[in-house]
Amino acid sequence: MPAVNDHPNNTPPTAPPAHDGDEALRSPIRPKPPEDLLPRSGMIAKAEQLRARQTMEALPSVQANPLNAPDGPQAALEQLRRKMESVATEFGEGKINRAQFNAIYGRYSEQRTIIERLIQRNPENQAWKQAAAPGHTSFLRDHFEARLLSYLVYQHGLTTPLMMGGRQQPDMNQIVQVLQTLWGLPSRPKVGLARKAMGSGQWLVLALGEFAVTLVLYQLEPSAAQGNLVRDLHADFERANKLALERGTRSLDRFVFPQRALTEKQF
């Protein structure tokens, strides 16, 4: 898509001299997960399941809650089936991403297979209790959650971000390409939400408004709930700063930035 040339300041966006207060961009403290964390099929999925299993085996065992412990192998299988249905519902409602679903659902499926094989070989064997013990899914849910890297807020047609923050400096060349494509659309909508894989395991969420756009970079694919949060924060940004945006104000002390909640929540 060709760049827009009808604005006098339409040059490649550059980072501003100052960042979002004390939230200066810096290298992430949390180790980055591998780049191929979204299991798809075949050998990739098998390799990912193996890595997840090896990680779980290295974790301390979690004792079952006696109050919720099943009283037999069939009850354990039924409990696992309900858990599998629950995580499928979570994904369907946009509360978790694909990597979280694959890891957690795979964990429950593995437990189910082990119990079925144990009782098939020896219905009196009590080893099913160990296989049915809960644990690890909280770790998987956290480990495969999309992590915010950075966010930028641009007024339309201006090449310097009004605000940016986060833990990692974004690739401004990629940001340039996204903005040029956006501003070059012949019939750009007034509002919208989009997300795009950017490579190296990174994903971009773009929330579009009448006067500005918010771009948020995540490590791993964000859930629908995370994308909806970006959309809502940008809508509140335009609602709270309507007069300043209409006048083309650039003074930061005239604005409030709901997007700062992204770094506070560490999505």
- The answer to whether residues 154 and 139 belong to one domain is no
Residue 136 Ramachandran class (φ > 0 left, ψ -120 to 50 alpha, else beta): left
* Whether 116 and 156 share a structural domain: no
112 and 169 part of one domain: no
Residues 251, 207 share a domain: yes
CA pair distance 38, 108, nearest whole angstrom: 18
At which of 143, 158, 173 does a domain end?
Answer: 143
Let me know whether 126 and 235 are in one domain: no
Percent of the chain with pLDDT over 90: 54
The domain boundary residue, chosen from 143, 166, 197: 143
* CATH code of 235's domain: 3.30.450.50
What's the pLDDT at 265? 58
- Residue 26 in any domain: the answer is no
Shared domain for 120 and 204, answered yes or no, is no
Measured between alpha carbons, how far is 37 from 33 in angstroms, rounded to an integer? Answer: 7
pLDDT digits (tens, 9 = 90+) for 179-210: 999 999 988 888 999 999 999 899 999 999 99
Structural domain includes residue 5 = no
What range defines the domain where residue 201 resides? 147-265
Q: Look up residue 55 and give its two tokens.
A: 């990680």
Do residues 123 and 192 share a domain? no
Tokens 């080893």 correspond to: 127
Domain end, chosen from 97, 127, 143, is at: 143
Are 161 and 257 part of one and the same domain? yes
**pLDDT tens figures, 22-65:** 444 433 333 344 343 334 444 444 444 554 455 444 444 434 44
Count the domains in the chain: 2
Same domain, yes or no, for 179 and 94?
Answer: no
Reported as a single tens digit per residue, the pLDDT across 142-177 is 999 999 999 999 999 998 999 999 999 999 999 999
